[in-house]
């Protein structure tokens, strides 16, 4: 079978074939010089891809890093059954590869799910995507999944439809997926070598019987590859989720990245294993650890130049509602929906989305302007190759607009003279509770962003400020309410200036830990 790779880089290269050679092929996920245009994975913009692809991703918070600052998704938990067993999953919990562990509060029928979607859409005009991501496997519950999708196509035609699957039943469902206008499909692919697969999947349910060991992994692998190729051939945008399991598939994920790229995957999302003994999973009970922040980043970085990477995944619940990283599902329980006045106002939704587009353009221009300063400053400081991480407290809109004490996660940007690149996020326990700072939370917050040189916030109290400084992390309030990339680049220029003047000496930072489990509500 001929490979049909359609990465953002290739799409751009094809469109611009007469204008310029595909420079981004060699450098992979890089910024094209001082212009500040990234042709990289989910951080691509309208200049990096054909209009029809941009239209599909521009308001999908998972497929576009930029979009995730502005647009929300919701999941409806209509798919409880699963046809395989993963060693990182316990059926009592959400699907661990797509959801943060924690029981789904309410499983829904398709009719309930549709009602919930319309209720959320009427309250949250920025909710643009409906996904079915468990708590089992969307395609192991085809009737419920497609019944929900069919109703939504009729009743909420402006909402993008998305689903997530382990891929076992995918090839047989591709026609149905296309029939329901499901434009975005995620396949969880953790291996392309069945020997490795046997360490992740104890069994699959196939042709009415349980198959185990390497044979199970071989069947799963073949179905996943076939399904991916079929979706690519039909023009469905595919994202591959891989769970990074240290010592089992960490280095192997580079090969997975290569193989899915060959078969046309649009994005590759490498996520840390969530493995806590109290979740009751095989890996949790046998002490299999998840990766550290730098281990995760190292594998992601090693995949650059391959299939484009998504790095802003929040491993959300199967009933999540809201921006990635926030959960408003409690506002939309079935009893609360019953009392709501549901008005599906498509014009209001369009108006909001137009406003966001204007904001996105302003954000992009601010980044381009700030890049020039960062470039000059790094050259003057003799720090052309310097790259540092900064943590950012934000509650959306792409701005530094959150108080340190209110953050339940920090977004992490890698800043250099070339770019401010989103590379991940770190969950933390809320510092400010009931109006007071909880000082015992500080060490864990410092651990979570310990590899960062600075943390950009809208405000910070004296106590955490001093502790961060003592840990070598610079608290920065100067860029409150600025666009994030502009703020990060301006801070970087200032940092280089201080290095150049001898006011400070640049020191490398250490590793950081990935916080497991649920965040506390703000
Ligand atoms: Fe949901 Fe997944 Fe669609 Fe997004 S989530 S089905 S693609 S709408 Fe997104 Fe959540 Fe990560 Fe999934 S952040 S777990 S990648
Ligand atoms: Fe659990 Fe999802 Fe794996 Fe099924 S595919 S066992 S629901 S993690």
The verdict on the CB of residue 200 being under 6 Å from ligand 2 is no
The pLDDT of residue 32 is above 60:
no
Domains of the chain: total: 2
Do 289 and 401 have their domain in common? no
Please report whether residue 69 resides in a domain. yes
The pLDDT of residue 118 is above 80:
yes
Please report whether residue 157 resides in a domain. yes
Q: What is the CATH number of the domain that holds 491?
A: 3.30.420.130
What residues are in contact with ligand 1 under a 6 Å CB criterion? 62, 73, 75, 98, 129, 131, 133, 162, 164, 184, 186, 239, 269, 313-316, 324
Percent of the residues in the chain that have a pLDDT greater than 70, as a whole number? 85
Do 411 and 471 have their domain in common? yes
In which order are the strands placed within the sheet that holds 160-165?
A: 309-310, 267-272, 237-244, 184-188, 160-165, 127-132, 72-75, 321-323
What is the SS3 assignment for 412? Answer: strand
Provide the 8-state DSSP code for 277: G
Q: Which atom of ligand 2 is nearest to the CA of 188?
A: 5
Do 265 and 411 have their domain in common? no
Please report whether residue 107 resides in a domain. yes
Do 325 and 389 have their domain in common? no
What is the SS3 assignment for 129? Answer: strand
What's residue 90's pLDDT? 83
For ligand 2, atom 7, name the residue with the nearest CA.
Answer: 136
Angstrom distance (rounded) from CA 346 to CA 332: 20
Ligand nearest to the CA of 224: 2
Report, as an integer, the average pLDDT of 418-425: 86
What are residue 31's DSSP bridge partners?
38
Token pair 């100067």: residue: 478
Pick from 64, 29, 60, 58: nearest CA to 312: 64
- Where residue 438 falls among pLDDT bands split at 50, 70, 90? low
What's residue 215's pLDDT? 98
Report, as an integer, the average pLDDT of 334-360: 85
Pairing of strands 388-392, 321-323: unpaired
What's residue 307's pLDDT? 78
The pLDDT of residue 19 is above 70:
no
What's residue 392's pLDDT? 96
CA of 403 to the centre of ligand 2 (A): 37
Expressed as residue numbers, the domain containing 452 is 376-501
Please report whether residue 408 resides in a domain. yes
Do 304 and 431 have their domain in common? no
Report, as an integer, the average pLDDT of 242-262: 96
Please report whether residue 21 resides in a domain. no
Please report whether residue 28 resides in a domain. no
What's residue 93's pLDDT? 56
Do 217 and 320 have their domain in common? yes
Do 215 and 280 have their domain in common? yes
What's residue 280's pLDDT? 86
- Where residue 320 falls among pLDDT bands split at 50, 70, 90? confident
117 versus 408: which is more confidently predicted? 117
Asked if 418 and 457 touch (Cβ cutoff 8 Å), the reply is no
Please report whether residue 369 resides in a domain. no
Do 405 and 288 have their domain in common? no
Structure tokens at 352: 């909001």
Do 314 and 386 have their domain in common? no
CA of 430 to the centre of ligand 2 (A): 30
What's residue 43's pLDDT? 64
- Where residue 364 falls among pLDDT bands split at 50, 70, 90? confident
Structure tokens at 216: 């199970």
Do 301 and 389 have their domain in common? no
Do 301 and 424 have their domain in common? no
Asked if 468 and 393 touch (Cβ cutoff 8 Å), the reply is no
The pLDDT of residue 353 is above 70:
yes
pTM: 0.80
Asked if 299 and 116 touch (Cβ cutoff 8 Å), the reply is no
The pLDDT of residue 521 is above 60:
no
The pLDDT of residue 498 is above 80:
yes
* Most confident of the ranges 20-24, 69-73, 111-115: 111-115
Angstrom distance (rounded) from CA 303 to CA 258: 8
Q: What is the CATH number of the domain that holds 314?
A: 3.20.20.70
What's residue 319's pLDDT? 85
For the stretch 167-198, pLDDT in tens is 999 999 999 999 999 999 999 999 999 999 99
Report, as an integer, the average pLDDT of 388-410: 92
121 burial via Cβ count (<10 Å: 0-12, 13-18, 19+) = buried
- Where residue 20 falls among pLDDT bands split at 50, 70, 90? very low
Do 282 and 431 have their domain in common? no
What's residue 434's pLDDT? 64
Please report whether residue 26 resides in a domain. no
For the stretch 462-495, pLDDT in tens is 888 999 999 999 999 999 999 999 899 999 989 9
What's residue 22's pLDDT? 27
């Amino acid at each position: 079978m001929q490979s049909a790779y359609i990465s953002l880089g290739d799409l751009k290269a094809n469109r611009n074939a007469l204008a310029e050679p595909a420079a981004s092929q060699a450098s992979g996920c890089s910024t094209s010089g001082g212009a500040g245009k990234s042709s990289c994975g989910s951080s691509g913009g309208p200049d990096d891809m054909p209009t029809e692809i941009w239209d599909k991703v521009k308001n999908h918070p998972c497929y576009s890093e930029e979009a995730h600052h502005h647009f929300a998704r919701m999941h409806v938990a209509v798919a409880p059954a699963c046809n395989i067993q993963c060693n990182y999953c316990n059926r009592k919990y959400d699907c661990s590869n797509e959801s943060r562990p924690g029981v789904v509060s309410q499983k829904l029928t398709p009719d309930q799910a549709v009602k919930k979607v319309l209720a959320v859409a009427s309250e949250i005009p920025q909710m643009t995507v409906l996904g079915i991501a468990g708590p089992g496997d969307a395609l192991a519950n085809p009737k419920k999944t497609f019944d929900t999708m069919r109703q939504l196509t009729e009743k909420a035609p402006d909402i993008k439809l998305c689903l997530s699957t382990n891929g076992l039943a995918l090839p047989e469902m591709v026609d149905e997926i296309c029939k329901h206008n499901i434009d975005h499909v995620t396949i969880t692919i953790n291996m392309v070598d069945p020997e490795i697969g046997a360490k992740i999947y104890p069994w699959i349910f196939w042709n009415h019987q349980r198959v185990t060991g390497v044979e199970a992994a071989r069947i799963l692998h073949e179905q996943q590859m076939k399904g991916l190729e079929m979706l690519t051939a039909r023009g469905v945008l595919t994202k591959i989720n891989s769970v990074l399991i240290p010592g089992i598939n960490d280095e192997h994920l580079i090969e997975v990245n290569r193989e899915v790229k060959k078969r046309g995957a649009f994005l590759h999302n490498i996520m840390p294993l969530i493995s806590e003994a109290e979740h009751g999973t095989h890996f949790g009970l046998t002490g299999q650890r998840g990766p550290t922040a730098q281990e995760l980043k190292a594998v992601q970085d090693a995949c650059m130049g391959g299939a484009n990477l998504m790095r802003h995944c929040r491993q959300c619940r199967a009933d999540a509602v809201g921006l990635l990283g926030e959960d408003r599902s409690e506002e939309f329980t079935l009893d609360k929906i019953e009392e709501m006045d549901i008005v599906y106002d498509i014009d209001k939704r369009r108006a909001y989305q137009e406003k966001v587009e204007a904001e996105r353009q302003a954000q992009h221009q601010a980044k381009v302007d700030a890049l020039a300063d960062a470039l000059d400053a790094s050259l003057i400081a003799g720090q052309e190759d310097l790259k540092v991480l900064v943590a950012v407290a934000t509650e959306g809109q792409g701005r530094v607009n959150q108080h340190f004490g209110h953050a339940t996660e920090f977004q992490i940007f890698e800043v250099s003279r070339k770019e401010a690149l989103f590379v991940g996020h770190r969950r933390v326990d809320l510092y400010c509770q009931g109006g007071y700072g909880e000082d015992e939370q500080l060490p864990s917050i410092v651990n979570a962003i310990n590899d960062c040189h600075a943390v950009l916030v809208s405000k910070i109290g004296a106590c955490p400020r001093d502790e961060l400084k003592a840990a070598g992390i610079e608290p920065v309030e100067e860029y409150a309410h600025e666009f994030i990339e502009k703020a990060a680049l301006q801070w970087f220029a200032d940092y280089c200036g201080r290095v150049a003047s001898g006011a400070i000496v640049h020191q490398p930072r250490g590793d950081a830990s990935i916080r497991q489990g649920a965040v506390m509500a703000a």
